[in-house]
């Protein structure tokens, strides 16, 4: 790579129009990056500017008022409780199963036909639209057991599962084989080697990937629409009864004609983005401090 940066004597004859064209292309690439930064900065500034005045301790804890009420009364307390319950439960389901699935792919069947099929379909499953996951859980769960936080958690868990499998699989691949061989030489069984040598060696990357999956799940609205049935009251029982979440409340308020409801939507949007950013930064810190093997 270093040879291509042009540090050595310039023997090239590239001058005139050829060089100009190449320069134009380079400038176009930089412009493309700027084109992406503009909407990102625009969105973030808008959300912060319109949300920061709304957020207070009272906003984060108070109950959800009717949409006509102005923004200084009430808050999104039930939505925060709901998001914590549902995303927490989804994480408890998806992360262990995802890690186990990745162990199968990497330690047991990864090179066989079945292992390759599962790996490929996990990739494909990351592309299943979140609304389809909502319809799926509606037809297998909600129709039989009714709306509940659990139903929402199943839908989010299904979305997280392939993401966790893929990120964990990447991390397990980076664990050097001599570590495994050393433990086998001491007489350890395969499950013991996996649990006590391979997983601890990769734990930084696995946690980091799981945190990113949680950040994505916390922002999902579509799979919750028909599984938790957005309500405005606190439901501390995640296993039964309709529930609510931060993204669901934003969706409900975004189409409201009342400025109070819209203001609460901006406050909730800022809360959601802060949660996602905190998880993302946590993921980077874990990566930086606890990752032993990286690409």
Partner 1 sequence: MSTVTQQAGPATPAGPARPLSGRRPLGDRTFQVITLAAGLLVLVILVLIAFSTTQQAAPWFKAEGWGIFGTTWNPATNQFGALAFIYGTAITGVIALIMAVPVSVAIALLLTEVVPYRWARPIVYVIDLLAVVPSVVWGLWGILVFAPWIAKIYAHIGSAVTGIPVLDSLFGPPTSGASFFTAGIILAFMITPIVTSLSREVIATVPAIDKEGAYALGATRLEMIQGAVWPHSKGGIVGAVLLGLGRAMGETIAVALVIGSSATITSHLFAPGDSMPAVIANQFGEASGVFRAALMGLGVLLFAFTIIVNVIARAAVGRSVEQGSA
Q: Between residue 227 and residue 256, which ones bind partner 1 under the rule CB under 8 A?
A: 247, 250-251, 254-255
Distance separating alpha carbons of residues 93 and 85, to the nearest angstrom? 12
Sole binder of partner 1 in the list 64, 165, 172, 261 (CB under 8 A): 165
Do 238 and 84 touch, CB atoms closer than 8 A?
no
Distance separating alpha carbons of residues 61 and 75, to the nearest angstrom? 6
Sole binder of partner 1 in the list 153, 163, 269, 286 (CB under 8 A): 269
Q: Does 192 bind partner 1 (CB under 8 A)?
A: yes
Neighbours of 100 (CB within 10 A): 14
Q: Quick one: which of 148, 95, 98, 90 has its CA closest to 122? A: 98
Judged by CB under 8 A, the stretch of 54-62, 74-82, 100-108, 232-240 that binds partner 1 is: 100-108
Sole binder of partner 1 in the list 109, 240, 282, 287 (CB under 8 A): 109
Cβ-proximal residues to 51 (8 Å cutoff; 6+ apart), any chain: 266, 267, 268, 269, 270, 271
Positive or negative torsion for Cα 272, 273, 276, 279: negative
Judged by CB under 8 A, the stretch of 22-30, 57-65, 67-75, 235-243 that binds partner 1 is: 22-30
**Closer by beta carbon to partner 1, 5 or else 57:** 5
Smallest distance, partner 1 to C-beta of residue 115, A: 7
Q: Does 7 bind partner 1 (CB under 8 A)?
A: no
Do 268 and 249 touch, CB atoms closer than 8 A?
yes
**Closer by beta carbon to partner 1, 133 or else 207:** 133
State both tokens at 214.
Answer: 């949680």
Q: Does 140 bind partner 1 (CB under 8 A)?
A: yes
**Closer by beta carbon to partner 1, 139 or else 236:** 139
């Amino acid at each position: 790579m270093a040879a291509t940066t042009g540090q050595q004597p310039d023997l090239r004859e590239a001058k005139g129009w050829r060089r100009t064209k190449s320069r134009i292309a380079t400038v176009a690439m930089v412009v493309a990056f700027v084109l992406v930064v503009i909407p990102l900065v625009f969105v973030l500034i808008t959300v912060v500017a319109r949300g920061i005045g709304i957020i207070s301790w009272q906003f984060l804890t108070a109950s959800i008022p009717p949409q006509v009420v102005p923004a200084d009364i009430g808050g999104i307390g039930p939505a925060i409780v709901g998001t914590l319950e549902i995303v927490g439960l989804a994480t408890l389901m998806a992360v262990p199963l995802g890690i186990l699935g990745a162990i199968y792919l990497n330690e047991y069947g990864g090179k066989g036909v079945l292992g390759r099929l599962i790996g490929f379909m996990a990739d494909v499953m990351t592309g299943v639209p979140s609304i389809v996951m909502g319809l799926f859980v509606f037809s297998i769960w909600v129709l039989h057991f009714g709306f509940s936080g659990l139903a929402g958690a199943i839908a989010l868990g299904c979305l997280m599962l392939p993401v966790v499998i893929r990120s964990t699989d990447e991390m397990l691949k980076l664990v050097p084989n001599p570590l495994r061989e050393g433990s086998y030489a001491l007489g350890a069984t395969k499950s013991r080697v996996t649990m006590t040598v391979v997983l601890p060696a990769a734990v930084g990357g696995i946690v980091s990937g799981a945190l990113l999956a949680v950040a994505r799940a916390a922002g999902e609205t579509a799979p919750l629409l028909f599984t938790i049935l957005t309500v405005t009251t606190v439901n501390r029982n995640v296993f039964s009864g309709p529930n609510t979440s931060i993204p669901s409340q934003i969706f409900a308020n975004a189409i409201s004609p009342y400025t109070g409801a819209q203001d609460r939507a901006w406050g909730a949007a800022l809360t959601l983005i802060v949660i996602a950013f905190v998880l993302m930064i946590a993921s980077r810190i874990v990566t930086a401090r606890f990752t032993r093997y990286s690409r």
